[in-house]
Structure 1
């Protein structure tokens, strides 16, 4: 696919400002906030104390000195919930929380040559100013292209950079082909475990930053090899099953379908069933469709 861009209305920008902004978020989110600068973005999770998923977002520091803030892009429909939860832990921290959906838009640039058109290297999280906002290589996976936080009038600069306007569905096809989950479309709040969703391989977790919400149980899951299921990209042969459809193998429940589009989807599958299907030739079923799981190239392992 040639280089193009799309505006992600399903993501919005919120800001954490104030002198304690980094120390505040450092104790709450899964990645190392101290490494986030105007030149380097990161991807992170906000978890329950039990280590279950609540929110995911990218983070970048504003490069405008008069507007020192950490910018996050939670799901639009759930940003109020994230802000509410952050306020619960504010206590005496010198921070300010602000919804900036009316000032900044989230866009993605993807396809062959997209990073080059924006002057970005294929290094996760690399960032630079762009059109009054910021552009950065997706910190999860460079194959996803770039993410941008832009003022409304900055979107036109993407056309000037030689990027063609695309539909969000085009970006979704790329995401699904790579096997990358997308917020609550693929993770269930207060239920999903980060390592089941391969978040460690998507650079969402720092293993050496110290304590954060849900850190103890996340680390225990990793070091005790407790993972029995993982998200897999799957090829769908037949009528596309709805999200939440049970997946079976040899008549027994083996997992659940998550998001999907045009013959591709993500499914949470039991690792032992994936191994058994590979050894026996048995086929996964979801509704009337047959599913064929694949190992994502960026995390080629079915081991817990």
Structure 2
């Protein structure tokens, strides 16, 4: 039986949104339908700029009379400030969730250990926290929002082996899951460039939200030219932002995050031009000797390249 692994995600942290207008307030701002976030259902979403560029990827879960919002830990105050600008007369309060940890749980039997159906977003209370199957897709495992002083004990009680955060990075990169600013090239890419529509992160029926016009236009007019996707790396891991080239020397995209597996191989995420992807050839770095082979994960819908830039 595959081991059940867990780790505390120090790169992720929580805001707590309280007040009677909390769902209505957030509904007009993020890409997914917040009204569907209940005690037994969590969601994946994003906050976009008015121009439709991705600013934050978010996990949303209900906790009593509040909503917990997961985002990049080092950008949490920026998220709080941005959301607070839209408070106006809304009866809400928004603050960092002190004393909480964000954890990931994955491996065979993760849903059984949590007594949850293996359905994306299925949620329940766990001790004084919340546990839910990853809303992006069930094979990713689960997320847990736990009291920080008991997080390790609670994970151990689930039968999980506590591992280093790099083990989770290997897990998510193997699945092709982007996470946070290290992958998503903040304020430069759209939600669809980053695959959020294929990961249950965009509701095209929910009504208006910030950045909706560009998101819908990109979807229905087939305007994608580049796509964030996993890559297998031969050679040293390129630095984030390293330009990628086709064998003929044409622009093919750029590197995002990466993880070395051994001296000569690794995994990563890269923004890849769809024209270069369709050619089916390995890419090379503009500097360095690494070769990158993009691979389309099972969850990613086929996408044809739009016209040239």
Asked if Structure 1 and Structure 2 have the same fold, meaning a TM-score greater than 0.5 normalized by the shorter chain, the answer is yes
Q: Which residue of 2 aligns with 1:178?
A: 175
Distance 1:270 1:69 in 2: 41
Q: CA RMSD in A?
A: 1.1
Residue 37 of structure 1 corresponds to which residue in structure 2? 38
Instruction: Pick one of 163, 166, 171 that aligns with 2:163.
Output: 166
Alpha-carbon displacement from aligned partner over 1:72-99 (angstroms, at most 9, x marks no partner): 0111110100110111100010101111
Q: How does 1:176-255 map to 2 (within 5 A)?
A: 176-249=173-246, 250-255=248-253
TM-score between the two structures when normalised by the length of structure 1: 0.94
The count of corresponding residues between Structure 1 and Structure 2 is 295
**Aligned-residue offset at 1:124:** 0.5
Q: Distance in 1 between matches of 2:77 and 2:282?
A: 42
1:123 is the counterpart of 2:124: no
Q: In the aligned structure 1, how far is the partner of 2:282 from the partner of 2:62?
A: 47
C-alpha contact 2:282 2:294 (8 A) present in aligned 1: no
Tell me the CA shift for residue 131 of structure 1.
2.2
2:267 paired with 1:267: no
Structure 2 counterpart of 1:91, from 72, 88, 92: 88
- Range with bigger deviation, 261-270 or 152-161: 152-161
Corresponding residue of 2:19: 18
Alpha-carbon distance in 2 for matches of 1:58, 1:103: 18
- 1:51 paired with 2:52, answer yes
**Mapped partners of 2:138, 2:254: distance in 1:** 28
Deviation at 1:142, TM superposition (A): 1.2
Q: Which residue of 2 aligns with 1:285?
A: 284
TM-aligned CA deviation for residue 300 of structure 1? 4.1
Equivalent-residue separation in structure 1 for 2:32 and 2:135 (angstroms): 11
Q: Which runs of 4+ in 1 moved over 6 A?
A: none
Q: Which runs of 5+ in 2 are unaligned?
A: 261-265
Query: Which residues of structure 1 form unaligned runs of 5+?
Result: none
